Chain A
Amino acid sequence: MARLPRLALQVAPLVIIAACKPKITTDTYYCGPEELCPPGLSCHLGPTRSDDGNQRASFAYSCVTSLAAGDFACSENTSDREPDDEPALGLDLMDLGCGSQVVQEDWGCIDSAGDLDHYQFHVADVCAGSNPRFEVNLSYPIGAAPVSVDLLDGTGETLASGEICTGAADEGGVEERCITMPELPIGDYVLRIRLDPDGNADCDGACAFNRYQLRLSTPIS
């Protein structure tokens, strides 16, 4: 019986400690900037996948156990097509009509600080409407290096660069950059995607890569 109070004194602090510790299990949070995850978990940079047939797929850029965390590779589950480091080699999106929208379904991919992705498109018409404009939206996970988008004209001159336009209440681990311009004159244009040259959130070079999704639209009102 004399041991009981002593045991209680030893156990009570452990109970208190256990009661006060956040319990965060695998695959419940997206990675924060620079692969930031809760202690004990690692950022899963691989594609969405299933660890085995009986488990649900882990979210990409999600914080998972070290064993489940996959490495980054552009070749997996992306639409990355190389070489496209030169504007003339960029994927041709053809004519961009009035009131149209082009959405990249698969992830694009930048695998290093020097990697460039280009997308060519052509504006063929002058659009009518109360507010014709050209919009670009680039979204990418915040878990790896930030990605930038620039709009170039046919001569390669930069017309505009994307500004961060993520919603203030958005905590979903995805950052967005937007370009909004009045209607573009008829001509050829190029979008250039690369790691943000002004950004340094690349884990000191260890996470100088990322995936992205691109959306172009030409609303007229």
Chain B
Amino acid sequence: MPRHVIAFALLCGLLPNLAQAQDRGYFSEGDKQLVFKEEGSRSSTQRIVLASLFGGALLTGVIGSYYLLDSRDLSDELSASGAHTGKAWSAELEAKRKDALRSGRIATVSLGLSGTLTLAGAIAYIVTAPDDEVGYQDWQTRLMVVPSAGGIMASKGWSF
């Protein structure tokens, strides 16, 4: 007698879950899918290209910065406005001026190239972004209620 009472109580306890599960559609055939998501990866060629673009951008950026500073220092040495320097313009100063302009040109080209490579790298990074691989697996839920000696046995099972 007590076991019947316990079995009845268990069944009563499962009924709300069962109703809730039916509301969610857990037990309908093929009503739920397992989704497997796997992040994609770039090919080695793509990686090499990206590394080359960003590496080249870094390298030309460093070179450009070096020459930019060199040009700035030389220009600062020569630049004069307002007060007279008290110096005569000489072949050495003219050579220094040309060095400043040369360094400036190298800096301009290098930094321009660095910017271009960075831009190209960014575009390539976006264009070659791999798609994620998504897999689906149906799964089913079953509720089993089996009479047993002295009561019932209830269980919930999934298959996929």
**A positions within 8 Å CB-CB of B:** 9, 12-13, 16-17, 19-25, 27-33, 36-38, 59, 62-63, 142-143, 171-173
A21–B72 Cα distance when bound, in Å, is 8
Q: Could you tell me the distance in whole angstroms from the C-beta of B107 to the nearest C-beta in chain A? A: 6
Write 26 A-B pairs (CB below 8 A) sorted by A numbering: A13-B108, A13-B111, A16-B68, A16-B108, A17-B108, A19-B68, A21-B100, A22-B75, A22-B78, A24-B80, A24-B81, A25-B80, A25-B82, A28-B83, A29-B80, A29-B85, A30-B88, A30-B89, A31-B88, A32-B89, A32-B90, A36-B89, A37-B89, A62-B84, A143-B88, A172-B86
Cα-based distance from A32 to B112 in the complex (angstroms) = 36
Number of interface residues of B (CB under 8 A): 31
In the assembled complex, B71 has its CB within 8 A of some CB on chain A: yes
Q: A22-B79, A32-B91, A32-B94 are in contact. List 9 more A-B contacts (CB 8 A).
A: A16-B68, A19-B72, A20-B68, A20-B108, A21-B101, A22-B78, A23-B75, A38-B97, A173-B88
- Report whether B115 and A30 are in contact in the complex, using a CB–CB cutoff of 8 Å: no
- Per-residue contact bits, chain B 128-147, to A (CB 8 Å; 1 contact, 0 not): 00000000000000000000
B104 near A142 with CB under 8 A, answer: no
* Complex Cα gap A221–B86 (Å): 33
**CB pair B75 A38 closer than 8 Å:** no
Interface of A is mostly: loop
Q: How far is the CB of B137 from chain A (nearest CB, A)?
A: 44
A31–B89 touching, CB < 8 Å = yes
Q: Spell out B's residues near A (CB within 8 Å).
A: 68, 71-72, 74-75, 78-91, 93-94, 97, 100-101, 103-104, 107-108, 111-112, 115
Chief secondary structure at chain B's binding surface: helix
Nearest Cβ distance between residue A126 and chain B, in whole angstroms?
Answer: 42
Query: Do residues B91 and A20 form an inter-chain contact, with CB atoms below 8 A?
Result: no
* B residues in contact with A172, CB < 8 Å: 86-88
Give the Cβ gap from A4 to chain B, nearest Cβ, in Å: 13
Distance of A60 from chain B, by nearest CB (Å)? 12
User: Which listed residue, B74, B82, B91, B112, touches A28 by the CB 8 Å rule?
Assistant: B82
Taking CB atoms, residues of chain A closer than 8 Å to B93 are 29, 32, 38
Q: Of A13, A28, A32, A142, which contacts B84 at CB under 8 A?
A: A28
- With known contacts A9-B115, A21-B101, A28–B81 Cβ distance under 8 A: yes
